[in-house]
Structure 1
Amino acid sequence: MSRGSVLLRASALLLLVAFVTAPDLFAPVFEPLTVNGAPAIYNQGSLLTLTLAHLATVFGATLASTVVAVLLGIFVTRPMGMEFLPLSRSLVNIGQTFPPIAVLAIAVPLVGFGAKPTLIALFLYGLLPIFENTLTGLTQVSPLTLEAAKGMGMSPSRRLLEVELPLAMPIILAGIRLSVVINLGTATIGSTVAAKGLGEVIIAGLQSNNTAFILQGGAVVALLAILIHDLFMTAERTMARKLGGVAATS
């Protein structure tokens, strides 16, 4: 990564932190977007609290999606689970088949308002990319590598934990990255069912016709998505380089 790129990302992070911790400093920037003396900065709650709640919802759902999708991916790539691959694909596609707003409508009567229906919707929506990348990563491990590990006396569980998963991890991380970035934007709809998050800012702007509020909520979500995307990309590249070095010296 070039020095310019690092400086640009560091500047974006500092801007984001400054805005959510001291938003009033940016009031002059947003005042031209307001009419009839409306507030320029969202004043119905703490932007920092809403941002942290938004991230907690997204990462909580992604963690659950990751555990389920990776375990399912491992299962269907074992001899005893291969016949369940079509069924597994159908199950993880449910989240993509039904839009998150439809999942919310079904979940609210079952679990009530708040974060729970949003977590369910994001969990289902995040399964597919992680599952498919887990499959891709595990099935692309070289048979020669697996034979070598078997020849060293490794048990199937050791081969999985010490060979297959480490080699597949960059691809699995790419699936997790895609899931997180998608869910960062999707989580804004959670505010329609009283879940805390940056959707509150956007909805407040829509209800009051305040463009400044809409832009603030959207900008924070966009910056979060860019920064988290870059963080995962850096982790993927670092892991891929390490694996390439190991392969080159083995």
Structure 2
Amino acid sequence: MRAGAILRAALALLLVALVVWPQAFAPVFAPFAPQGGPVIYDRVSLLSLSLNHLLLVAAASALATVVAVTLAIAVTRPAGAPFRPLSRTITNVGQTFPPVAVLALAVPVLGFGAGPTLVALFLYGLLPIFENAMTALSTLPPRTMEAARGMGMGRVQRLWQVELPLAAPVILAGIRLSVVIALGTATIGSTVAARTLGEVIIAGLLTNNTAFVLQGGLIVGLFAVLIYDALTLLEARIARRAGARRA
């Protein structure tokens, strides 16, 4: 447990240092830069790009969570059960339709910038959250639900006080997967002028500067690892509470 906490802290410190003091890592990246070329990306602050990247992912993930969980609740009610196949088809579209194609279609409508990227991340993040939410809400313990009815709880009370708290760990697992996917996918937003860490990677590819590619990729990777780990810890804590509710 202590070793995990130490590793977590070390990765967090490395990430902060990379974003706030990138010049300190110039000797590390120098072998990967072209002869006489820049080593550290400095056209835009890495901190600014990182914050914009995280903001886009957070906004898209929050919107995807609200829509996917609401849809899962609707199709797990008796009246909404016939629409379950249709809802699965709709949420699958985001995964089967390439994000680059979504960007290409969204740019003429929304223009260049964060808008098309937000749409692409939203669509791409729906499926894992929806599937997990639907599975969790469809497999609740019958005895627990009967006990809730026996206590005189109405449908809304059961949903908020029993169903969602018990389903929360599985729903959060879907959110965790969706967020990690969005962190990586958001880099393509820079192809349509969104301010993300993809700007560093694309600049490296255009100038044949591997040092830039490594900087952008490493920062995105560290964000993904740390956020995944944080959500895993949160999921475990919620699962313990859900277990106590079941008991």
Q: TM-score range with shorter-chain normalisation? A: over 0.9
Quote how far apart the aligned CAs of 1:35 are.
2.0
Paired residue for 2:123? 124
Amino acid at match of 1:23: P
Name the structure 2 match of 1:210: 209
Partner of 1:188: 187
- Counterparts of 1:29-178 in structure 2 under 5 Å? 29-178=28-177
Letter in 2 for 1:5: G
Tell me the TM-score normalized by structure 2: 0.99
CA distance in structure 2 between the partners assigned to 1:35 and 1:66 by the alignment: 43
Secondary structure of the 2:35 match is coil
Moved more, 111-120 or 30-39: 30-39
Counterpart code for 1:193: V
Shift of 1:33: 1.1
**Structure 2: which amino acid aligns with 1:110?**
V
Secondary structure class of the residue paired with 2:127:
helix
Q: CA deviation at 1:244?
A: 1.9
Corresponding residue SS for 2:223: helix
Aligned residue for 1:13? 12
Q: 1:247 Cα shift?
A: 3.1
Partner amino acid, structure 1, of 2:223 = L
Contact 2:61 2:121 in 1 (8 A): yes
- Residues in 1 aligned to 2:66 and 2:181: alpha-carbon distance in whole angstroms: 18
The offset of 1:245, in angstroms, is 2.9
Deviations 1:117-147 (A, max 9, x none): 0000000000000000001111111111111
1:85-109 superposed Cα distances (whole Å, 9 cap, x missing partner): 0111111111011010010010001
- Give the match for residue 220 of structure 1: 219
Equivalenced residues, count = 247
Cα distance in 2, alignment partners of residues 155 and 102 from structure 1 = 45
Cα distance, 1:246 vs. partner? Answer: 3.5
User: What is the Cα deviation at residue 37 of structure 1?
Assistant: 1.0
Distance 1:35 1:89 in 2: 48
Long gaps (5+) in structure 1: none
Q: Deviations over 1:37-90 (max 9, x none)?
A: 111100111000000000000110000000000000000001111111011111
Secondary structure of the structure 1 residue equivalent to 2:112: coil
**Does 239-248 or 146-155 show the bigger shift?**
239-248
Query: Partner residue of 2:243?
Result: 244
TM-score, normalised to structure 1, is 0.97
Shift of 1:164: 0.3
CA contact (8 A) 2:166 2:245 kept: no
Percent same amino acid at aligned positions?
Answer: 62
Q: Which AA in structure 1 matches 2:83?
A: F
1:243 to partner: Cα distance: 2.0
Give the letter aligned to residue 99 of structure 1. P
Letter matched to residue 154 of structure 1? M
CA distance in 2, matches of 1:45, 1:123: 26
CA contact (8 A) 2:75 2:84 kept: yes
Take 1:214 and 1:95, find their aligned partners in 2: how far apart are those partners? 27
> Which consecutive segments of 4 or more residues in structure 1 shift more than 6 A?
none
Q: What is the CA RMSD across the aligned residues, in angstroms?
A: 0.7
1:210 partner amino acid = N
